[in-house]
Chain A
Amino acid sequence: MDPAGPSAAAIADLWWWMLAGSVLLSGLVFVILFLAFRRAGRAERSDAPSEKLWLGWLGLAMPVVVLLALLTYALHLGGRILPGPDAPDLTVEVTAYNWGWSFRYPDGRVSERVLHIPADAKIDLVISATDVIHSFWVPRLAGKMDAIPGHVNELRIEADRPGTFAGVCAEYCGIGHVDHDFQVIAHDGESWQDFLENRE
C-alpha cells in the first residue's frame, strides 16, 4: 500500500473510504447484537418488533443510500483511470508467455522482463499472451489486466516518480507462475533520453 502512480493512489483512497464505512457498518451490527442479548435478561416486554424500522430503514434504506454513494464515486473513479480520450505519451505492446514478458516499443525495440517507461507520463499498454492466460500487475502503479491468447487488452499506467517497481503475473499460469515476474523502470527525463538513444 505504497502507491506510486495516480491510478494506484486513487484506488488507495477508495480503499480507505470503504474501510472506514465497513468499520462503521460492522460496528453497528455488533452493537445491536450485544444490546439484544443484554436486553434479553430484563423483564418481559410487550412491544412488537417494528418491521418498518428493522426491514424498511435498517435493512433496505440504509444500504441503498450507502451503496449508491459508493457506486457513484467508484464509477467516476473508474472512468478517470481508464485509457481516456487524451492520447498517451507512449504505447508499449506487452506479450506474456510461459514464462516471461516481452515489451515492444514504438521504435521496434524489444526488452525482456524489464519495462522501461518515462516517469510522469501516460503509458498505454497493449496486452496479450501467446500460450495460456496471464495477468499483468504492478501493484504500486495500477490494477491488473489479463493477458489472454487471442484477445488484446489495454491498460494505462503512470508512475509519478522515477524508480523501479516490481511486477508479477497475477493469474495462475502453470508451475513457473511464481517466478513469472518482471520490473518496471520509470526513468527521469535524462535517463529516459539515454534509454531512447542507447539502441540495444
Chain B
Amino acid sequence: MNAIGRHRGLARIWAGEPGLRGVFSAVSHTDIGKRFIIASAIFFAIAGVLAMLIRAQLATSHSAFVGPEAYAQIFTMHGSIMMFLFAIPMLEGVAIYLLPKLLGSRDLAFPRLTALGWWCYLFGGSIMVGSLLVGLAPNAGWFLYPPLSGPEYTPGVNSDVWLLGVTFVEISAMCAAIEIVVTILKFRAKGMRLDRMPIYAWYILATAGMMIFGFPPLILGSILLEIERAFGWPFFDPELGGSPLLWQHLFWLFGHPEVYIIFLPAAGAISTIIPVMARTKLIGYGAIVASVMALAFLSFGLWVHHMFTTGIPHMALGFFSAASVLVAIPTSIQIFAWLGTLWAGRPKLELPMLYLLGFFFVFILGGLTGVMLAIVPFNQQAHDTAFVTAHLHYVLAGGFVFPMLAAAYYWMPHVTGRLRVMRIGEAAFWLIFIGFNITFFGMHLTGLLGMPRRVYTYPAEAGWDWLNLVSSIGGFLQAFGFALFALDIALQAWLGRPARRNPWGAGTLEWTMMTPPPAYNFASLPEVECREPLGARGTLAADLARGEGLLAAPRNGWRETLAVDIASGKPDHVAILPGPSLLPVAAAASFGGFFAMMLLSLYWIAPLFLVAVTVVIWLWASTNGSREPVGPLEIGDGTTVPSHYEAQGTVGYWGSVFALCASGTLFGSLIFGFAYLWTVAPHWPPQTGLDAPLFETGLIVAGALAAAIFVRLALPRTGNGEGRLYLAIAGMGLTLLVLASLPVLRLPAPTDHAFGAVSTTLVAYGLFHAMVATLILAFMMVRKRQGFVAHGRPQEMRVATLWVDYAAGTAIVVALVLVLAAWGV
C-alpha cells in the first residue's frame, strides 16, 4: 500500500459524519479541541467586555454609569467566566488538541467522553451567560460566599445559576481530567518511556491529576449550597449548626490548586516553546518534572492563605504562610531552567518568543507580589483590596494569557497549515503588554492606598481618581490589543500562505504529520528512542507517511491505536476506538434538562432527567465490547498483541479507577465537612441525637461483603457464574435498601440542624454508589447472556468489580461514621 492509499483508507475510517449530524456526533479530538479553544476564546471576549464595563464605571469617582446591583453581577460574572468558562476550558482544549499528537497516538482514550465534556461545557456556559442577558446573573462575588449567596440574602435565582452552571461545566472538566490522565498513561508511542515523554505531557499529567483531586471539593460545596438553597438543609447557617467558613474551606481547597491548574499547562507550553526558540534542548528535564510534581502536591496545602483574615490561629497561619512561600521554590527552579536554556542556546526573537518575554516580565512581578501576600501581616493589610486584584491579574495574565498567546502563534501553523499574514501580531503584543501594565501596575498602589475590591464607586476625597483613570485607559488599550490579536488569527486562518511542515524546526512528534492534521494524526505510529524523535531523525515524517511505523495497514475499518505499558512504553494492546456518536450530546442534553429543572425549581421533574441520563449511559456501555474472540493482532514490527477486548489494564479500567478517585475525594471532603462543623460551628452538639444504628450497620456490612465476594467469584473462568452474580446483586441490593431506610427511620430531620443535614447527605452518597453498583451488576448479567463477558474477555467484569468494591467500601464507612457520630452526640 502506498502513502496515498494509506491516507485514503485511514481518512475514510477516521472521518466524521457529514452535515448537521456530523456537528452533533463529532468525537475527534482535533475537532473537539478546536471547539473548546474557540468557545473559550469567545467567553474570554465576553468577560473582557464585562471588564471594560468595570473600568468604565471606575474611571471617575461618583460615576453613574451602572448601579450597585448591575455592578455586582458584572464583577461576579467577569471572575466566574474567566475562571470557569475561559481558563479551564482553554487549557483543556489545547491539551485535547495536542496530547495525542505529541504522544504519538491517533486519538484520546475516550473519544465519546471528549464529546460529552464539550456539550456539558457548551450548555453550562450558555446557561451562565444567558443569565447575564436577562439580568439574573450571579451577584455575590465569584467565590460566592454564604450567607450572602444563601437563600436568605440572595432569594432570587442568581446564586443557583452559578452553582448549577458551574457544576455542569465541572462535569466537563472531570471528563477531560480523567481522559487526559488515562491517555498519557496508556496511549503513547512504542518506546516512549515515562522519562522520554515530551515535557508538556508531564505538565498536563500533573494538571489533570490535580483536577481529579481538586475539583470534587468545589462540586461538593456547590451541591451542599444548592441543597441549602433549594430544600433548606442548614450546612452553612450558623443558627442551625452550620458554618459559612465550611464553604470557604471547600471553595479554596479547590480554588488554590485551581491557580496551579491554570498555570501548569501554560508552563508546559513555555517549556516546549523556549528550547525551540533558543534552538537548543531544555536544561534540567528531571528537575523540572520534579518541581512540577512538587507544585502539584504543595498546592493542596495552602488553601488557607485565602482565609488569613478569617480569625484562624496564628500558628496555623504560620504553617500555611510557610507552605505558600514554599511554592515559590519549584516555580523558581522552572524559571531559572528557562533562563538557563535561553542562555545556553541562540534565542531568536520570533513572535512566540516576544509573547514569552511578556510572560517573564508580568509573571515575575505577579510571583513576587504573591510571595508578599503569603506573608500574614501584609496579607491582612492588603487582602480584599485592589492590590490583590492587581496581583491575581499579574499571575493569571502573566502565567496563563501571555503563554497561551505565545502558544497560539507557535501552533497556529499546525492547526491551519498556514503562515501569518502581516506583522499585526507584534502590534497586538505591544498594545496588550503596555495596556496590561498600565491597567494593573497602578492598582497595586490604589490598593495600598486603601481602595477595597468590589466597590462600584468611591469618594472623590479618597484621591484615587487619577490612578483609576489611568487604569481604565490601560484597560481599553489592552482591549484593542486583543481585538487585533483576534483579527490576526482570523486573517492567518483565511488568507495565510501555506506553511512548510515544521516551520520552527521543533523536535516533537506533532510536527511529523501533515498540517492541517488529518483525522487519523499519524499514517503509521512512530517508535521513539528519545525525547525529541523528530529532532533525532529528520526523515521521520516521510517515513511514517510511507508506513514504516506501527499499525500502518487499515484493518476491518477499525479505529486502531496503540496502548502501551505505563512505565516502559512497550506495546501492550491495540485499542479499537469508537466512531461518531450521538450518545454524548444526548447525555449532555439529559444533564442539561436536570440542571434546567433544578434552576426552575421544578424539583419533582428533575429526577426524570437523571433517569434519562442513566438510560443513555446504559446504551452507551452497550455499544462497547465484542461477542467473538478477536485474537492476537499484528502491529507491524513483527510482534502481536491482543486487542483491548482481550487485554488487561485497558483504558476503561483506568478510567474507572480515576473516576472513583474523584468520587472518593468528594466523599472525603464530605467527611471533613462533618468533622469541621462538629468541632468549629456554633450550636453543637445538636438537640436531637441519634441512636447508634448497630443493627443496620450489621446488615450493611454483610450485604456489602457479600457483593464484593460474589462479584469476584462471578469473574468468568470456566463456568458462566450467573448464580453468583445474582448473589452479588442480592448483597448490594440489601445494602441499598438498608441505607435507604436510614433517613426515613433513624436520622434526625435534615432541615432542623446541620447534623441531620450532613448525615443524610452521607447516606445519600452511599446510596448513590450502591445504586450505581447494582445497575452495573444488572448490566453485567445482560452482558454475560449476550456473550460480551466470557472466558478470555473478563474486562467488563473487572471494571464492575471496581465499582462494586467502592460502593461496598463507602457503604461500610458511611455506616461506621454514623455509629461513631451517634456515640459522639
Q: Residues of A at under 8 Å CB distance from B? A: 1, 7-8, 10-11, 14-15, 18, 21-22, 25-26, 29-30, 32-33, 35-37, 39-40, 47-51, 53-55, 58-60, 62-64, 67, 70-71, 74-75, 77-79, 81-82, 98, 127, 131-133, 135, 137, 139-140, 142-146, 148-154, 166, 168-178
Contact = CB atoms under 8 A, between A and B. Distances in A.
B72 interface: yes
A71 B325 contact: yes
Contacts of B311: 127, 145-146, 148, 151-154
B318 A78 contact: yes
Nearest to A77: B377
Contacts of B345: 40
Contacts of A74: 321, 375-378
B330 to A, nearest CB: 9
Given A1-B448, A74-B321, A132 B238 contact: no
Contact of B68 (A135, A143, A175): A175
Interface of B is mostly: helix
Given A54-B337, A60-B333, A170-B452, A132 B287 contact: no
B384 A81 contact: no
B332 A60 contact: yes
Interface string B269-303: 00000000010000110010000000000000000
A2 B344 CA distance: 47
A168 B311 CA distance: 18
B310 A146 contact: yes
A77 to B, nearest CB: 5
A82 to B, nearest CB: 6
Contacts of B69: 175
Given A22-B365, A37-B349, A178-B456, 12 more contacts: A33-B342, A33-B357, A40-B345, A55-B287, A60-B332, A77-B377, A137-B384, A171-B145, A174-B72, A177-B68, A178-B455, A178-B457
Contacts of B364: 25-26, 29-30
Contacts of B598: none
B341 interface: yes
A154 to B, nearest CB: 7
A145 B576 CA distance: 58
A22 B374 CA distance: 14
B682 A67 contact: no
A146 B309 contact: yes
Given A59-B336, A144-B383, A174 B148 contact: yes
Given A60-B333, A148-B310, A150-B681, A135 B284 contact: no
B336 A55 contact: yes
Contact of B329 (A60, A150, A174): A60
B601 interface: no
Interface in B432-475: 448-450, 452-458
A67 B449 contact: no
B336 A58 contact: yes
B455 A11 contact: no
B287 A51 contact: yes
Given A15-B378, A29-B339, A78 B383 contact: no
Contacts of B379: 143
B584 interface: no
Given A11-B381, A70-B375, A144-B384, A26 B368 contact: yes
B136 interface: no
Given A10-B377, A143-B381, A144-B309, A15 B368 contact: no
B235 to A, nearest CB: 12
B245 interface: yes
Nearest to B71: A175
Contact of A75 (B321, B448, B456): B321
Contacts of A35: 343
Contacts of B346: 40
A77 B325 CA distance: 16
A15 B466 CA distance: 23
Interface string B52-83: 00000000000000001100100000000000
Interface string B229-265: 0000000001100111100000000000000000000
Return the 9 tightest CB-CB contacts between A and B, nearest first. Answer: A150-B238, A143-B380, A54-B340, A153-B311, A49-B344, A59-B336, A59-B333, A139-B450, A22-B368
B347 interface: yes
A144 B381 contact: yes
Contacts of A36: 339, 342-343, 347
B314 interface: yes
A108 B420 CA distance: 74
Interface string B147-169: 11000110000000000000000
Contacts, number: 232
A32 B318 contact: no
A23 B375 CA distance: 17
B147 A132 contact: yes
7 contacts: A18-B378, A55-B283, A55-B336, A71-B375, A150-B243, A169-B452, A171-B145
A49 B340 contact: yes
Nearest to B331: A63
Contact of A132 (B148, B239, B321, B347): B148
A150 B377 CA distance: 24
B452 A168 contact: yes
Contacts of A11: 377-378, 380-381
A39 B343 contact: yes
Nearest to B148: A132
A77 B377 CA distance: 7
Q: Which of B278, B452, B681 has the most CB of A within 10 A?
A: B452
B243 A33 contact: no
A81 B377 CA distance: 8
A129 to B, nearest CB: 9
A8 B381 contact: yes
B347 A37 contact: yes
Contact of B375 (A14, A25, A132, A177): A14
Nearest to B448: A1
A47 to B, nearest CB: 8
Nearest to B322: A71
Contacts of B321: 71, 74-75
Nearest to A49: B344
Given A132-B148, A150-B243, A168-B452, A32 B328 contact: no
A26 B360 CA distance: 10
Given A60-B329, A78-B317, A143 B377 contact: yes
A11 B346 CA distance: 44
B309 A145 contact: yes
Contacts of B278: 40
A40 B245 CA distance: 54
B385 interface: yes
B347 A40 contact: yes
A144 B380 CA distance: 5
Contacts of A75: 318, 321
A79 B314 contact: yes
A25 B370 CA distance: 14
A52 to B, nearest CB: 10
Contacts of A67: 325-326, 328-329, 371
A170 B310 contact: no
B314 A78 contact: yes
A146 to B, nearest CB: 5
A193 to B, nearest CB: 31
A147 B348 CA distance: 54
A51 B348 contact: no
Given A40-B345, A51-B340, A150 B357 contact: no
A154 B344 CA distance: 54
B372 interface: yes
Contacts of B381: 8, 11, 15, 139, 142-144
B329 A132 contact: no
Contacts of A62: 332
A10 B381 CA distance: 11
Contacts of A10: 377
B353 to A, nearest CB: 9
Contacts of B314: 78-79, 82
